[in-house]
Amino acid sequence: MAERHVKVAKAFLLIIAQALQQIDPAQLSPSDMAKWLEVATKLERISRGVPTEIGKQEMQGQVTERHEYDITHRIEQYADVYRQLARRSVLCGGDAGDDTGEPMDTT
């Protein structure tokens, strides 16, 4: 079936191309010219693989779930854990800090 459609389309395009050669542009009305321009532009875009229509999609609705990640809050949680471990002497050496909550001086 697809091959038959291709043959019909090719034959029809030949007929149209021959008929177009016979048209006197001076005899075309403005609306005829607008229609031919539309058809020619669409055909060119399709043959080049370019979209023939440009559309806009809009979404409406409401966000029902929010996923936020507060890194500052997370750092404070880890700092609290490290302070507690330091108090229990779980951390050894210079890793324990001084439990002031201030960054350690590594210099």
CA distance 21 to 28: 13
99 and 87 in contact (C-beta within 8 Å)? yes
User: Is residue 105 very low, low, confident or very high in pLDDT (cuts 50, 70, 90)?
Assistant: low
pLDDT digits (tens, 9 = 90+) for 72-82: 888 888 888 88
pLDDT digits (tens, 9 = 90+) for 3-48: 999 999 999 989 999 998 999 989 999 999 999 999 999 989 898 9
Length of the chain as a residue count: 107
CA distance 35 to 28: 10
